[in-house]
Structure 1
Amino acid sequence: MTYPTPLEALLRHTKNHPDRPFLHQPVNRKLLITTWKQAETQARQVATGLVSLGLTKGDKVAILAKNSAEWFITDWAIMMAGMISVPIYATAGEKTIRYILEHSEAKAVFVGKLDDKAAASAVLTGELPVIAYPYDTVSAQHQWRDWIRDMEPMEHIYAPTLDETMSIVYTSGSTGNPKGVVLTYLNYASVSDTHARSFEASGEDRMVSYLPLAHITERGVVEGPGLYAGASFYFVESLDTFVDDLKVAQPTLFVSVPRLWTRFQTGVFEKMPAQKLSRLLKIPVLGKLVARKIRKGLGIDAARLYGSGSAPISPSILQWYRTIGIDICEGWGMSETTGLSCTNMPFDPELIGTIGRPCDCVEMKLSDQGEILIRGDAVFKQYYKNPEATEASFVDGWFRTGDKAQLLNNGAFKIIGRVKEEFKTGKGKYVAPVPIESALASNPDIEQICVMGSGRKQPVAVVVLAEHLMHSDKALLRPSLETTLHEVNAGLESHQKLDCLIVAQDSWTIENEFLTPTLKIRRAAVEDRYNRIAQAAEGQAVIWEDEVKLG
């Protein structure tokens, strides 16, 4: 099947409605609006700027910045110049930034808003040309404002074919150095066009871009489909203004990740205890009013489509959101599949707990070992400069995803864990942690969970409590956690039953390196930190980390 390229989509919409508001960027609490024509013109100017640096077709250009209108425009400018984009997480550390720039052989780098400039400043010391977005960022030889003021728009832009490389997207590196996933225009165009159609998106839709654009979910589920549909985009000024910016945007399509959906829920419970809210929601008229007020408070009451991806989300969380009128379509995908490849959309409550059915741009099946295999227009063909990893990742033309699943009779896939995350207990039995973690997440007091137990007689669970409960009275929290532990164990086979539940003292974050930039738990880091604690905690049902006496 043929698809329009992103540049063809951009030019089409610019021609059809040049003066329609397109990109909405809050700066110092003022909304700066860029029309479609302005966005295209600025992209042409930036493309000219790249050529003025001596860069040529095929050169790699990195983007190290939080989401902004400039990020989108840069993405298109790099395409217009015939170059290849290399996104880097704004939260990346010095080692990761240096590795990606060197491995990708980037010839220039755009920098923008960063929560911590130290890592970028340590790496960007003058060897590479640096172009700074108009925000407080690292020092740079070139300024975005100057290019937009001085550069002539590129008249004859590059027209890529679908088989050419568009971007090298580096994985989050949860088990070592990140791998560079080579994505073609076919990969990106297929998901953008497919999802724009399946979302039934149009120029009337409003989308908020706030999940990291270095992660393929944001580019493949938000930026791409929104561009192809002609939707308008809104950005977030800062974490502190997040909800206010949502209320301004009034998104009609809203995608988040499990950690943030859990945080939203926790925020609701901070204002009203879960049990009291549950009682109110069951009262016929009052319940609808309360639900509407919660949706409005979250800033997502105008949305007609909600999604969750990047990591597994607990069915109990999805069921709770249903009670306030939010049906979240769970999705599944990878950098190697250009993001969303399987989803419960249109939303079907019977498919809660599954990732739904494959999207039109891919085919999926299970191997004899239960691993998801996938192929299609959205699936990449190679890792950058890593033929060994590429060869090991394919079997007869199918990409080996590393995810284990069940294929249900209704055609939906149910993830039961990662192939490499399964561990063998001291009894020689294999345990998949994800289903157990999902069951524990039914307790709203728990925000983060990691089940571990390689070589132990029984698995254990380490949990992080919701932020507002971190310093609460343990005696008040313990009964609820013990009940959850008992209920979860009652549904497990003997070798899966949890020996104890350990409550961590600190949250797991990107900064302390317990989470990847995509908010996935770095299991090896958690196990390394809590292994001795778990050994000393044996015989306790629920125990706090600071209660454990290490020998």
Structure 2
Amino acid sequence: MQTKNKLPLDMVYHWEAAKSNSLYMTQPIGDGKVVEYTWGRAVDEARRMASYLKSLNLPEKSRVGLISKNCAHWIMTDWAIWMAGHISVPLYPTLNADTVNYVLNHAECDVLFVGKLDDWDMMKPGVPESVRCISFPLSPPNDFETWDDIVAKYPPLEEKVQRDADELATIVYTSGSTGKPKGVMLSFRNMAFAAEGGMEVLQVGANERMLSYLPLAHVFERTFVELASLYAGFHLFFAESLDTFVDDMKRAQPTLFLSVPRLWVRFQQGVLQKLPQKKLNKLLKIPVVSKLIKKKVLKGLGLDKVKLAGSGSAPLAGDVLDWYRNLGLELLEGYGMSENFAYSHINKPGRSRTGYVGESMPGVDTKISPAGEILIKSPATMMGYYKDEEQTKGVFTEDGYLKTGDKGEIDEMGRLKITGRMKEIFKTSKGKYIAPAPIENKLMANQSIELVCVSGANQTQPFAMIQLAEGIRPKLGDPSVRKELEEELTELVERVNKTVDPHEQLAFVIIVSDEWSIENSFLTPTLKLKRNVVEDTYEGKVNEWYAQKKKVVWQ
């Protein structure tokens, strides 16, 4: 079906007419039970909620908040907000009360939809008393008006609401590895262009199946799951929880699967705990057995039906990419930002290159500035930052390119490589500049390591802080495990140091005892490390670490 120049609501009304009785969303509700939404039912409930929102007589184009883990109601709410003539403001379901309060006040949200959440009690104090709250069926206990009561009471909004392509559709607050989150303003045109271009590149059709579990509040999932399903018309499944993830995968049997590096590494570590790498390598060398083993491993991960697997939001170590490719799963890395609705670059099947994030997507113009910064321009690029003209001006070049803040280079086939962050580069006491990301990627290839932060500003040599893989941490009480790990990491440092320039060589690695998580603000909601939080936390200990003169230091 030709979707050119169709806006998101146009697609909602298209499927309502064309596939009213076809299944669109499968929502688990606990105890292995699910609720299924046809296109007709989903659009009807969205129309009813839009009718309710209109009855509130909010000012035109009001901002309406949405805080929930992924579920069918998240998507229906997005539609309802647009149908009612308003602007959706998604909030990550892992934010603390201060950030919830900041976003709701900054966006001036009058209404907030509250859904599936693990820690609502932590967030609730951040919701201003003036904000009217509406509760999804799977939300924590509360005394708000409920979705089911509202859709039972209000008639569906009959008109097919048309929104202008250049109208503001949503404000996405960046998870922000530093400072207050910025409100990225995205228009209906931005969203439509990204969705259509993504479908064209990935050749996505109506027969796909996807499992939605990365935060819909993030543009990665919003573009390639919510909008992709809306433009292609395929079946969307939701995950119930981490505990049921394997069952959720088996139910969905996804044909398209997206994840982030930290989860790809965890999937790999889960396999290797049951089937060590040496044994796996031996089995993969036996022609008859190899095919069966590959199939068994992928089936165990729920990935045996996947025809296209993607990774984004942060770099994935080359060794991990190669590990999956050896199993027959061509894992394709992509690159994008909130500021361009995650629509920028992707590796194409058969043309991917390890260490590169791929080629420009259709309509994306990419160039490298004289300082090495990646500059991008496309119709998916944001309208600007909400209520912040100064930051908006600062992030665009005079000729309209978005300054990504990333350093990069482009190869002869037009594939982009990210070589570091412009602002992350630091200077040693010898006056030499160091980009931490490439060194971190080399260390991350080791399966004992889950997270790395290379630091060392104003020191003679850089060092690396390491959080060990989840499976190793409980075993550290055993002295033999610690000794073996020290030897392994000492060898790793020596090996990495041989591959970098003398001024980039690591003085030592620190094994931190703290867990770096979203909850304690070490990670963003998309599992990126907040470098400034890590460095500030351990700043007082750095000189003591250098004084120990060891290759491996236990914090």
User: What TM bracket, shorter-length normalisation?
Assistant: over 0.9
Q: TM-score, normalised by structure 1?
A: 0.97
Of 195, 199, 203, the residue aligned with 1:196 is 199
- Indicate conservation of the 8 Å contact 2:100/2:127, yes or no: no
Partner of 1:543: 553
Residue 365 (1) aligns with residue 373 (2): no
Distance 1:401 1:365 in 2: 11
Of 518, 521, 525, the residue aligned with 2:526 is 518
Which deviations, in whole Å up to 9, do the C-alpha atoms of 1:42-83 show, x marking residues without a partner?
A: 110110111122224301000000000000000111111111
Deviation at 1:413, TM superposition (A): 0.8
Distance 1:323 1:346 in 2: 15
Percentage of pairs with the same residue: 43
Q: TM-score, normalised by structure 2?
A: 0.96
Deviation at 1:347, TM superposition (A): 4.4
- Indicate conservation of the 8 Å contact 1:124/1:130, yes or no: no
Distance 1:274 1:468 in 2: 15
Residue 509 (1) aligns with residue 517 (2): yes
- CA separation of 1:495 and 1:342: change in aligned 2, threshold 3 A: same
Distance 1:140 1:326 in 2: 47
SS in 2 for 1:385: coil
Partner of 2:70: 67
- Indicate conservation of the 8 Å contact 1:328/1:347, yes or no: no
Partner of 1:305: 308
- Indicate conservation of the 8 Å contact 2:65/2:91, yes or no: yes
Distance 1:138 1:513 in 2: 26
**Residues 177-256 of structure 1 correspond to what in structure 2 (within 5 A)?**
177-256=180-259
The amino acid that maps onto 2:23 is P
Which deviations, in whole Å up to 9, do the C-alpha atoms of 1:99-131 show, x marking residues without a partner?
A: 000000111000001110123321236311100
Q: Bigger shift: 431-440 or 521-530?
A: 521-530
Partner of 2:287: 284
Distance 1:361 1:154 in 2: 36
Distance 1:511 1:39 in 2: 33
Deviation at 1:132, TM superposition (A): 0.3
SS in 2 for 1:451: strand
Structure 2 unaligned regions, length at least 5: 476-480
Which deviations, in whole Å up to 9, do the C-alpha atoms of 1:237-261 show, x marking residues without a partner?
A: 1111111101110000000000110
Partner of 1:392: 394
Partner of 1:465: 468
- Indicate conservation of the 8 Å contact 1:317/1:442, yes or no: yes
Residue 451 (1) aligns with residue 454 (2): yes
- Indicate conservation of the 8 Å contact 1:500/1:540, yes or no: yes
Deviation at 1:92, TM superposition (A): 0.4
SS in 1 for 2:6: coil
Distance 1:346 1:388 in 2: 40
Partner of 1:22: 24
SS in 2 for 1:537: helix
Partner of 1:380: 382
- CA separation of 1:397 and 1:231: change in aligned 2, threshold 3 A: same
Alpha carbon RMSD of aligned pairs, Å? 1.3
Of 406, 418, 421, the residue aligned with 2:421 is 418
- Indicate conservation of the 8 Å contact 1:9/1:227, yes or no: yes
Partner of 1:175: 178
SS in 2 for 1:420: coil
SS in 2 for 1:139: coil
The amino acid that maps onto 1:362 is V
The amino acid that maps onto 2:330 is D
Which deviations, in whole Å up to 9, do the C-alpha atoms of 1:15-34 show, x marking residues without a partner?
A: 11110110000011212100
Distance 1:333 1:501 in 2: 31
Structure 1 unaligned regions, length at least 5: 546-551
Distance 2:127 2:105 in 1: 12
Of 41, 52, 59, the residue aligned with 2:44 is 41
Equivalent pairs, count: 544
Distance 1:126 1:102 in 2: 11
Partner of 1:549: none
Which deviations, in whole Å up to 9, do the C-alpha atoms of 1:427-460 show, x marking residues without a partner?
A: 1111001100111112111111110111110000
- Indicate conservation of the 8 Å contact 1:121/1:138, yes or no: no
Q: Bigger shift: 256-265 or 6-15?
A: 6-15
Distance 1:504 1:487 in 2: 21
Deviation at 1:410, TM superposition (A): 1.5
- Indicate conservation of the 8 Å contact 1:22/1:232, yes or no: yes
Distance 2:61 2:489 in 1: 55
Which deviations, in whole Å up to 9, do the C-alpha atoms of 1:124-160 show, x marking residues without a partner?
A: 3631110000024252431101012111000114201
Of 84, 92, 95, the residue aligned with 1:92 is 95
Distance 1:75 1:341 in 2: 24
The amino acid that maps onto 2:71 is S
- Indicate conservation of the 8 Å contact 1:196/1:226, yes or no: no
